[in-house]
Amino acid sequence: MKTTLRAYRPADFETLYEIDQACYSREIAYSRRELHNYLRFPGAECVVVEVKDPKTAVAGFCIAALLKGWGYIVTIDVLPGYRRQGIATSLLREIEGRLKAHGAKEVALETATDNEPAIAFWKKHGYRTRGIKKGYYPGGIDAYSMVKPLT
């Protein structure tokens, strides 16, 4: 599948919001305000992936932030019909490259302890568990705090 990575544009906002709603349960998905705030965070980076598909133009995105040499992945969202095709890996590589180019030495994230596919994805890409954050997600779901050095 032909994909193109590009920087976020404000005109993408509603599409990104709809993708986030499709990727996560209502309790976990971001509100418009939260998503807007993450996109405006100082040091924010957002990469969008477009696909050549008559039904869908944007298939996913990744938001990250950089603060004092630390990168942080806020979210990586890929529509269900486009998963397991390397799109998330492409987004991750691009966002890590951007963070590193801006001085990040490490990148961190949280992922639910009961989300085995996500845990496997992060581990495959060099992220290691640093600890557990109890009750991080709604409903009392714990999260792994994960980190990866950017060398």
How many other C-beta atoms lie within 10 A of the C-beta of residue 84?
10
Total of domains in the chain: 1
For residue 43, give the nearest of 95, 93, 94 by alpha carbon: 95
* Residue 56 confidence (pLDDT): 63
pTM score of the predicted model = 0.92
Residue 55 has pLDDT above 90, yes or no: no
Taking a C-beta distance cutoff of 8 angstroms, is the pair 111, 120 a contact?
no
List pLDDT tens digits, range 69-110: 899 999 999 998 888 889 999 999 999 999 999 999 999 999
User: What is the domain-level CATH number for residue 135?
Assistant: 3.40.630.30
Q: Tell me what the mean pLDDT of segment 120-131 comes to.
A: 96
Query: Using 50, 70 and 90 to split pLDDT, how confident is the model at 54?
Result: low
Range of the domain at 12: 3-149
